[in-house]
A and B are shown apart, each in its own frame.
Chain A
């Protein structure tokens, strides 16, 4: 084009190619990692909020890229709002989304499990025997339960004492157990130590189960046994509990004997240093770690989670492998769907720049998390994040925070409406 004289017009794609060539000059930027002309190959493992968002953002901004999404489940079941399902106020089908629109974007769906990663050869091994080569790999495996980390809580225990921390059958099991309980029964939720998926989640769940008990089984009681002395949006939750569920919901912090040290599934017993609880319904939210493939790929550290570069979300342990969503150690960012989506788009932009020989730009990320304390009572936490020179993702000082502690019920009702709107918006962006 240049040799032939100045062109009159350039398509956007040609422009981008030209930009890549210009930027690839060694004095200006890193050398592109892909042979000129070959379509860059990106494999994304995990089709949740993080992985599906990232695959889509990459494909939409760079239609030339060959993007493969590895996900064994034909439908995705979303965790946000699954507490409303547990409380009997929403059907699980409202949480479920297919990958049809993602496939229609030209993303190749590998409907199987990733079993291994060869970081040297840059291939992902799949359960069906195939090997997918990649130029950049994005791992978005979400969480795995650390079975046995809480003594007695192994995989079979989850069918007696559901965790319901990955939405689906577990969500429905907990709901059925609550429905089967007689009025006057005791429900116990065991909340884990940090870090874990959805920091306000156990407390939203406690709130909505309390709402269910108050309206359907008012002589019942709910106890939250907590491995912590503080939690997300604590003041707002406790203020609302005192107003809405006095005498019904009791929170027991670590310092008051809340730490569950073992469970006995056969008798549905939770053991603490201070005593034993034998409720009719026991919801054990157990310790967690990054999804299995993170460990297999060598991107998880001894904590079980994945250290990343906050500009690119590239693993600090393995080159050309990026980790986003709940599996990542994202500093001040919580493990939330909004954060996962925000990280996914940041990661997609960085991956695209790295694959076209450009330097990733410094991002700014946002999180917003709504919690429902009752169906018409919402509260939120928001944050804005940026990388620090030390390589952490930190809160932008002065920004973010929780809903005002003194606010009329109209504000709480508005936030409940916004929570619902947020779910529709984000699921439309990711799956619609």
Chain B
């Protein structure tokens, strides 16, 4: 019984993590307003899905610091913490 319960708790926590993962982290869903989610949209704006995680983090930090030139991203990046940037980058890096 104890083992079954432990297994159940273990599964539940994995499942809870899966539920959390099933939804984008704070702010991430809004990005596709400009960054195409679909490969069908023709845009000069980079598609985020599948990009390197570290590259997204670096770009966001540079936009935020003002060391990378942007049109709107310099203004938007200032609204996100390091933690949020890490989560958003991990989310898009895991997409295909």
Contacts and interface: CB of A to CB of B under 8 A. Distances in A.
A43 interface: no
A5 to B, nearest CB: 8
Contacts of B14: 15
Contacts of A388: none
A226 interface: no
A400 B75 contact: yes
A86 interface: no
A366 interface: yes
A338 B35 CA distance: 12
Interface in A48-71: 57, 61
A175 B25 CA distance: 44
Contact of A368 (B11, B26, B34, B38): B34
Interface stretch (A195-203, A205-213, A302-310, A349-357): A349-357
12 contacts: A6-B7, A22-B11, A349-B24, A364-B27, A364-B80, A364-B84, A384-B76, A396-B78, A414-B71, A415-B71, A425-B41, A432-B41
A361 interface: yes
B78 A398 contact: yes
Contacts of A358: 19
Nearest to A22: B12
Interface in B1-57: 4, 7-8, 11-16, 18-19, 22-24, 26-27, 29-38, 40-45
A22 B13 CA distance: 8
Q: Which 9 A-B pairs have the closest CB atoms?
A: A384-B79, A399-B79, A22-B12, A19-B19, A366-B30, A364-B27, A345-B29, A428-B41, A19-B15
Given A16-B18, A22-B12, A415-B71, A426 B33 contact: yes
Interface stretch (A90-98, A138-146, A276-284, A416-424): A416-424
B17 to A, nearest CB: 8
Interface in A203-253: none
The secondary-structure label for the interface of chain A is: helix
Given A18-B11, A20-B19, A384-B76, 10 more contacts: A19-B15, A22-B15, A364-B27, A364-B30, A380-B71, A399-B79, A403-B71, A418-B72, A426-B34, A429-B38
Nearest to A395: B79
B26 A364 contact: yes
A341 interface: yes
B75 A382 contact: yes
B80 A384 contact: yes
B76 A342 contact: no
A415 to B, nearest CB: 6
B42 to A, nearest CB: 6
Nearest to B8: A2
Contacts of B44: 417-418, 421
Interface string B62-79: 000000000110011111
A345 B29 CA distance: 6
Contacts of A414: 71
A363 B28 CA distance: 9
B89 to A, nearest CB: 14
Contacts of A384: 27, 76, 78-80
